[in-house]
Amino acid sequence: MVSIIISGMAGVGKSTVAEIIAKKLKIEVKIGGDVLKDYAAKLGYKGTDRNDFWDTEEGKFFLKLREKDPSFDKKVDEFLKESISSKEMVITSWSLPWLVENSHVKVWLKGSQKTRAKRISERDNIPFQKALEIVKERDNENFLHYKRLYGIELDKDYSVFNLVIDTEIIEPDVIGEIIIIYYKAFKSGIEKSL
């Protein structure tokens, strides 16, 4: 089973690209952030169906609680690892590329804070400056969180990735096509080696 795992900082377009790929390949998509939101909903948090849940007071409170209890992330990561062990899919995840073997296509999407803030501003209909503050805050929190949790150097260590794609000027559809071409060649190579 070969899955596609897409990682990258907040607002880089992970979910958009993952959904494009899943639709074209006709395979399931799992958005890591949505799995974590589902977990928050099971714990009684409200508003988890919102795109901007992580920027609400309730979402921020959950994230602070999550900082103190690594079991939240570890449960989500175990769920995602089990998911790709049983079928091919497209998954977005901050940490999964470092946690699974190299028999999957692992992609890091890059984008500047300004570009990512512009996307979040447009997506969530908020002023650019507020979106930029959110991006900077999330980047800092995620750098620290994943370093503490797994020793991962987000946006610095690309050694586990098959592809690193700069999303600054390339449209999501084109990024999806690049990943699909690589995925098909990668999968074919694995099948030939068996």
Q: What is the pLDDT of residues 140-162, one digit of tens each?
A: 999 999 999 999 999 999 999 99
Q: Quote the CA–CA distance of 104 and 73 in Å, as a whole number.
A: 21
- The whole-number average pLDDT for the span 55-81 is 85
- The whole-number average pLDDT for the span 55-62 is 84
Any residues with CB less than 8 A from the CB of 166 and at least 6 apart, and which?
110, 111
Residue 4: both structure tokens together: 């596609």
Q: Quote the CA–CA distance of 164 and 167 in Å, as a whole number.
A: 10
Residue 84: both structure tokens together: 């790709």
Residue 90: both structure tokens together: 């497209």
Q: What is the dihedral of CA 66, 69, 70, 75, to 10 degrees?
A: -80
| Residue 28 pLDDT | 95
DSSP state of 27: -
The answer on pLDDT for 52 being more than 80 is no
Q: Quote the CA–CA distance of 140 and 159 in Å, as a whole number.
A: 21
The answer on pLDDT for 69 being more than 90 is no
- For the 4-193 domain, the top CATH level (class) is alpha beta
3-state secondary structure of 31: strand
pTM of the model as a whole? 0.90
Closest by alpha carbon to 80, among 102, 99, 107?
99
